Structure formats: C-alpha cells, structure tokens
Amino acid sequence: FLNPGLFGSSRGMPAVLGHSGPALLGRMVRPFLLRRTKAKVAPELPERIEQTIKVRLSADERAVYDRVLQAARADVLGVVASKGLARSKFHVLTALLRLRQAACHARLVDGRSTDTGSKVRELIDRLLQLRDEGNRALVFSQFTEFLAIVKRQLPPELPHLYLDGK
C-alpha cells in the first residue's frame, strides 16, 4: 500500500513468485531492508554468551508433548501418503513448530495447562543467580506467548523490562 505497483500487478504476482520467485522477490525487497549488526549499533556490549541447558520435562509436560507428537505424526504421515513428501512441506514445518512449542511450555499448545513449566522454573532460577552475581540478561524467544508466561511468573524482586512486537 505504500508503493503500489512496485511488485507489479496482483495478476502478475503468480508469475513473479513462480520458479525463480524467491530469488527475484528477494532482489526486489533488498533495498527496503535494514540490517545492522551489534558491532555497528552498540560496540560497547559484551559478546553474547550462549549456554545449552538440558531441562527434563515434568510428567504432565511430557504427556502433552507426547500427545502433540502422536497427532503431528498422524497428520504428517497422512498428508505425505496422500500428497507426497514434496507437497507436504508446510505440514511438516507446522508439525515441527508445534513440537517446539510443546517442548517450550505446555500452555503454548494446550491453553488449559496450569503447569508452571520446567523451563520457566529453570530460567527464573538462572535469572535470580545472574542478578545475585551483579549481571543482567536478555531473554529472547521466538514465541512471544512464552515470554508473557515468563513475565507473569517473575518474582517481584526480579526487576525486568518487557519488549515484544506489540
């Protein structure tokens, strides 16, 4: 709506998005994307530290995950059987997304879940430890609903700022 006709007409879009569509579309929008690295924006920030922490799901969380796994498996196998693997990629990706959500927190796939969440408990423990050491942390998640769950469970003695796409 900001620049009508930039990508051609709506009738011409299927041709643009055809065989070489992704590459062509990428070249068309590249001038409108701004990508800045941390080194250019805030060089005073320390390097990012990543840790992989394995957290065992509670029995309830595991049950939710297993239900999502079984449903995803049945859905994907059914779609692949009827459409073939090449035409089932969206279903496969959707199933993987649901599994990632279920592994993150049961409430992301089952809104009725009242479990605090093993990962939320572990995260809060780590954040309290970092605070006690005089450090700060940036918590990122692809799932903003997960961040909202964490925010609601943060203890009052853990000051925080919250930012999402809203």
Interatomic CA distance for residues 100 and 89, integer angstroms: 16
Interatomic CA distance for residues 88 and 81, integer angstroms: 9
pLDDT digits (tens, 9 = 90+) for 116-126: 899 999 999 99
pLDDT digits (tens, 9 = 90+) for 38-63: 888 888 888 888 889 999 999 999 99
- 27: confidence class by pLDDT, cuts 50, 70, 90: confident
CB 98 within 8 A of CB 109: yes
3-state DSSP assignment of residue 55: coil
Number of helices (H) and strands (E) in the chain: give both, helices first: 7, 0
pLDDT of the residue at 115: 79
Lowest mean pLDDT among 2-6, 11-15, 107-111, 158-162: 11-15
3-state DSSP assignment of residue 105: coil
Q: How many CB atoms lie within 10 A of CB 145?
A: 14
Q: How far is CA 74 from CA 37, 77, 93, 95, 113, in A?
A: 42, 5, 14, 10, 23
Say if residue 21's pLDDT is above 70.
no
Interatomic CA distance for residues 59 and 158, integer angstroms: 28
pLDDT of the residue at 13: 65
Q: pTM value?
A: 0.69
Task: Determine the straight-line distance between the first and last CA of the chain, rounded to whole angstroms.
Answer: 21
What is the pLDDT averaged over residues 91-99?
93
